[in-house]
């Protein structure tokens, strides 16, 4: 391609450069990433921090802004898509930074262990607005171990005819588990939909009945 | 907002290792390179929302890394005994200590521009057009700097290789940035 000899030793040389600058040690990259998380947090650049935790309903993604927990997502929602949506709707400064999620992760763990019946976390409702936000803010009034119908929630928010809108507010709850949309059932007592799927809803309701 | 920019974490995941290679090639295989890496990604995180969606992210990162490597070097030199040195003399970036052997001994003797051109093209995978944009000067000058750098590395490293194990000859080449992959 250029002025080099026909007997070109460049690939070997470049290989040696690659070997000499080897980055395959995962511990080094992890350490550098931790440092980036800490410095980003220090400089106020950690707009969206996230982590994933293992739970009885599968891996949950937890994401927080500096205002509070902004998103809880089930694996079936596709965590990559959820992060892309956070990037577009909140800020593209999205970084895996588990430390900021420590309090949320601890409370979710306690909830699944049956040792917590209410969450005490700052929430950021940036992903909801209007009637959906109103509904989601009232969901925590349905106490642990209890359920309500979509119609009852509509009455609770002072709009008894908005049963379908309550349904879509529950379906689009950006903070499932923590904001208990799983406690809302159809008026005939059947399960209704759930962002985490029917099995997850059954698991959460069963957990709360047993505790 | 029509912005569909990817989450910054994906930038770290996709380009973190390449940028670390580039920082090491320019600064040497020690903590200066990690300082430059950290400063690069912190600055990139800050500027990320404003980067045009169609920008070449890798070239952008290498450009930032280029500046941060210079910052790290200057900062270190401020704490060292000042020496008169012309910019185009032997590299003041990441000079290996006297015990450096093999490829590092050869890399440490390259003039700065050649060392940067080799790092950005062969490790960063940037076409010479992008290398020229970072270093200043023409695309041809960038290509020449890299070719000169490779030639003197080969001369020096081949000598050094006599004390190496020779196992390098068995390694398959599976690289980005090898000649021809990024025509400029």
Q: List the catalytic residue out of A60, A148, A169, A181.
A: A181
Let me know: does B11 contact B57? Beta carbons within 8 Å: yes
Distance in angstroms (rounded) separating the CA atoms of residues B157 and B155: 6
How confident is the model at residue A169, as a pLDDT?
A: 95
Is A86 part of any domain? Answer: yes
Is A152 part of any domain? Answer: yes
Judged against a pLDDT cut of 50, whether residue A139 lies above it is answered with yes
How confident is the model at residue A120, as a pLDDT?
A: 96
Share of chain A above pLDDT 70, in %: 96
- The size of chain B, in residues, is 184
Is A3 part of any domain? Answer: no
* Domain boundary pick from A112, A145, A166: A112
* pLDDT tens-place string over residues A159-168: 999 999 999 9
How confident is the model at residue A76, as a pLDDT?
A: 97
Contacts of B46 (CB under 8 A, 6+ apart): A43, A45
Q: Which of A14, A33, A94 sits opposite B175 (nearest CB)?
A: A14
Task: Respond yes or no: is residue A181 known to be catalytic.
Answer: yes
Residues facing A185 on adjacent strands: A149
Residues facing A123 on adjacent strands: A69
B24 close contact with A: CB closer than 8 A:
yes
Q: Tell me the chain B residues in contact with residue A35 when contact means C-beta distances shorter than 8 Å.
A: 38
Number of CB atoms found within 10 A of residue A53's CB: 17
Mean pLDDT across A43-60: 98
Nearest to A196 by CA among A65, A64, A98, A56: A56
Q: Was domain B8-167 assigned CATH 1.20.140.160? A: yes
How confident is the model at residue A207, as a pLDDT?
A: 96
Q: Number of A to B CB contacts under 8 A, please give it.
A: 138
* Domain boundary pick from A80, A112, A144: A112
- Answer yes or no: do B45 and A40 touch at CB < 8 A: yes
Q: Which residues of chain B have pLDDT under 50?
A: 1-2, 86-92, 96-97, 162-184
Is A16 part of any domain? Answer: no
Let me know: does B43 contact B68? Beta carbons within 8 Å: yes
How confident is the model at residue A7, as a pLDDT?
A: 55
ipTM of the complex: 0.91
Mean pLDDT across A129-139: 95
What is the CATH classification number for the domain harbouring A72? 3.30.160.70
How confident is the model at residue A112, as a pLDDT?
A: 97
Task: List the domain range (segments joined by +) for residue A158.
Answer: 130-210
Let me know: does B46 contact A129? Beta carbons within 8 Å: no
Mean pLDDT across A56-64: 98
Q: Tell me the chain A residues in contact with residue B143 when contact means C-beta distances shorter than 8 Å.
A: 2
Mean pLDDT across A111-127: 97
Domain boundaries, chain B: 8-167
């Amino acid at each position: 391609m250029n002025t080099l000899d026909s007997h070109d030793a460049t690939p070997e040389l470049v290989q040696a450069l690659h070997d000499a600058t080897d980055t395959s040690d995962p511990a080094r990259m992890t350490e550098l990433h931790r440092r980036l998380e800490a410095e980003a947090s220090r400089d106020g650049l950690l707009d969206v921090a996230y982590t994933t935790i293992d739970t009885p309903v599968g891996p949950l993604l937890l994401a927080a802004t500096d205002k509070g927990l902004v998103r809880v997502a089930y694996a079936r929602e596709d965590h990559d898509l959820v992060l892309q949506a956070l990037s577009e709707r909140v800020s593209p400064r999205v970084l895996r930074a588990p430390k900021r999620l420590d309090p949320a992760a601890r409370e979710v763990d306690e909830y699944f262990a049956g040792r917590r019946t209410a969450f005490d976390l700052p929430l950021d409702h940036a992903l909801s607005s209007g009637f959906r936000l109103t509904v989601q803010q009232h969901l925590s009034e349905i106490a642990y171990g209890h359920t309500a119908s979509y119609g009852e929630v509509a009455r609770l928010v002072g709009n008894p005819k908005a049963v379908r809108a309550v349904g879509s507010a529950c379906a689009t709850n950006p903070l499932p588990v923590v904001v208990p949309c799983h406690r809302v059932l159809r008026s005939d007592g059947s399960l209704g939909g759930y962002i985490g799927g029917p099995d997850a809803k059954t698991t959460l309701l069963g957990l709360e009945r047993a505790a | 907002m029509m912005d569909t920019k990817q989450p910054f974490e994906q930038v770290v995941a996709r380009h973190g290792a390449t940028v670390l290679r580039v920082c090491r090639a320019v600064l040497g295989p020690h903590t200066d390179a990690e300082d430059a890496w950290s400063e690069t990604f912190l600055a990139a995180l800050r500027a990320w929302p404003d980067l045009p969606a169609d920008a070449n992210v890798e070239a952008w990162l290498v450009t930032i890394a280029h500046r941060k490597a210079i910052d790290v070097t200057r900062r270190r030199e401020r704490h060292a005994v000042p020496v008169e040195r012309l910019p185009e003399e032997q590299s003041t970036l990441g000079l290996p200590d006297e015990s450096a052997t093999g490829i590092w001994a050869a890399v440490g003797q390259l003039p700065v521009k050649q060392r940067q051109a080799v790092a950005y093209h062969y490790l960063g995978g940037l076409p010479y057009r992008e290398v020229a944009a970072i270093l200043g000067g023409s695309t041809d000058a960038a290509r020449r700097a890299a070719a000169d750098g490779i030639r003197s590395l080969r001369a020096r490293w081949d000598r050094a290789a006599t004390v190496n194990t020779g196992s390098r000859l068995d390694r398959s080449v599976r690289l980005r940035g090898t000649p021809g992959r990024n025509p400029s």
